[in-house]
Amino acid sequence: MDHIDHDRERGREVREKLNHPIIDADGHAVELRLALPDFLKQVAGADEIKKWESQIGAPTVLQTPPGGWYLSPSGPITIDRAMAMLPDFRKAQHEQAGIDFAIIYTTLGLQMLNIREDDRRRAFCRALNMMSADMYASHKDTMTPSAIIPIETPQEALDELEFSVKTLGLKTITINGSVTRQPTKEEPRRTIPLALDGEYDYDPFWKRCVDLGVSVACHGGSSGSDRHASRVNYTFNHIGTFATHGEFFCRSLFFGGVSRRFPTLNFAFLEGGVGWACSLYNSIFEHWEKRNRHAMAEYLDPRTLNVELLVEMSKKYPNAHVTPERVREEFSEIRSKLSKDSPVPDDFAACRIESGQDIRDLFTKTFYFGCEADDRMAAVAFDPRINHYGATFKAVFSSDIGHWDVQNALAVLNEAYEMRVDGLMDERQFEDFTFANSVRLHGGMNPDFFKGTVVEDQAARILAGDKKARTAK
């Protein structure tokens, strides 16, 4: 261990150059599977656990994808696996990595959210939250775990939210951004957005998150869905999986009006980067320009179609297939489908968009995007030249320590700092990326989030500065 420690690059040297702390917005615990039954017994009882123990991570959840056993550090970086499993050791390693504070997300829990049986899903999630709270209780100054919240129905989500925050004292939560319904004889497998066209009204859940001051992180992937379902290639499935899931959730929040109805509720879309967010934002803007209700009424309403002009043109430029009779019949039929009083559809009604500035404000105030240290696309979040209305996005530094894509946990900050060295971010942008945006994500909803932590004073400075800027406006 000493040899590995001394030979490896360390983020500590980067941290010493900076005048601000580093918050890891997405570090991962790699839980010991065999520890979970200790807590499951408290939730469901010993007799029930006997039937469940052999099925943790097996038949009750979605099947392990190809390459699924190769997801956490092994071999020459086993020391990083130990870091992800042992909070005491993680704290010591954070100092070497240049990380001051970290939000710890589950690995095992990402499977728990997809357990199909209701009673097991709820029990496993609760047991895991109990275990997380217990494991990190003595490290509140440098780490805080995120609760895993099952969200198949609003009620189960509310139940676990209340327990996790009020009983366990956890301060932020992780959910799936959609609900998957397994195929039946009547219909194929469906992925249902939580905020649009859903089976349930999740507004009581969003409201309770605001009341409790907890931000909501989406940390799901799309592996197993139609476009990420190779049976032989894990990398094929993994590329874009978190971006696909995050984009789907973000799109439903926006068009479902959640960010309009709950303007103080912060959402984090983790591990997918920010490139997809730039694409989504600009696509929303460009669709709105052409499909806002005023533009549609002027340019796209079939009731304003001049059928006689089309008939006249078909006579002037004859075609054996496009005859005047066919033109008149087809377009008269289209017009007859709409009554005179039918309103022009408005896809932007729920989010009440009246201008491009509305789009910018809704998209940039409460949405945060987790970008891993080696993700060069993180730089586009800070470039106002790219996006309509000069929008920039709140990217947050996310190490993903504990998973396969980190081959040196002590050097994740070094990787991120390359963007600063290469001129892709300036000093202020790098501070926002690695510190201030994470403060805003969590502290913006709960001013006491960082109280008692090693970054308390610096976090308070960021929040006070933001408040002063808002007051000045």
What distance in Å separates the CA atoms of residue 426 and residue 386, rounded to the nearest whole number? 17
Give the sign of the dihedral formed by CA 80, CA 81, CA 87, CA 88. negative
The predicted model scores a pTM of 0.91
Number of other residues whose CB lies within 10 A of the CB of residue 322? 13
Structural domains of the chain, with CATH = 2-277+357-472 (3.20.20.140)
pLDDT reported for residue 87: 96
What distance in Å separates the CA atoms of residue 29 and residue 69, rounded to the nearest whole number? 16
Alpha-carbon separation of residue 116 from 123, 131, 415 (angstroms) = 12, 22, 38
325: Cβ contacts below 8 Å, ≥ 6 apart: none
260: Cβ contacts below 8 Å, ≥ 6 apart: 350, 351, 352, 362
pLDDT reported for residue 187: 74
Q: Could you give the count of Cα atoms lying within 13 Å of 356 in the half-sphere of its Cβ?
A: 12
The residue assigned the tokens 């056993």 is: 69
Contact of 361 with 254, CB cutoff 8 Å: no
Classified as helix, coil or strand, 327 is helix
The residue assigned the tokens 């006249």 is: 312
pLDDT reported for residue 144: 98
pLDDT digits (tens, 9 = 90+) for 420-462: 999 999 999 999 999 999 999 999 999 999 999 999 999 999 9
pLDDT digits (tens, 9 = 90+) for 366-412: 999 999 999 999 999 999 999 999 999 999 999 999 988 898 999 99
Tell me the DSSP string of 378-441.
GGGGG-TTTSGGG---EEEEE--TTSTT-S-GGGHHHHHHHHHHTTSS-HHHHHIIIIIHHHHH
27: Cβ contacts below 8 Å, ≥ 6 apart: 84, 90, 99, 102, 103, 104, 105, 143, 399, 400, 401, 402
Angle between helices 307-316 and 324-336 (to 10 degrees): 160
Contact of 172 with 215, CB cutoff 8 Å: yes
pLDDT along the chain (473 residues), means of 10: 55 96 96 88 80 51 55 81 95 96 94 87 95 97 98 96 98 92 74 85 97 94 70 81 91 96 97 95 96 93 90 95 93 80 90 94 96 94 94 96 90 96 96 98 97 98 90 77
Contact of 52 with 44, CB cutoff 8 Å: yes
- Pick from 352, 344, 177, 195: which is nearest to 260 by CA? 352
Number of other residues whose CB lies within 10 A of the CB of residue 135? 20
Contact of 118 with 141, CB cutoff 8 Å: no
What distance in Å separates the CA atoms of residue 192 and residue 114, rounded to the nearest whole number? 14
- The C-alpha angle 134, 136, 141, rounded to 5 degrees, equals 135
Number of other residues whose CB lies within 10 A of the CB of residue 183? 9
399: Cβ contacts below 8 Å, ≥ 6 apart: 24, 26, 27, 97, 99, 102, 372, 373, 406, 409, 412
Which amino acid does the sequence have at 342?
S
The residue assigned the tokens 């709960």 is: 446
Strand partners, 396: 370
pLDDT digits (tens, 9 = 90+) for 313-351: 999 999 999 999 999 998 887 777 777 788 899 999 999
pLDDT reported for residue 468: 87
Contact of 247 with 280, CB cutoff 8 Å: yes
Strand partners, 190: 181
CA 314 to chain centre: 52
Q: Are strands 267-269 and 216-218 parallel, antiparallel or unpaired?
A: parallel
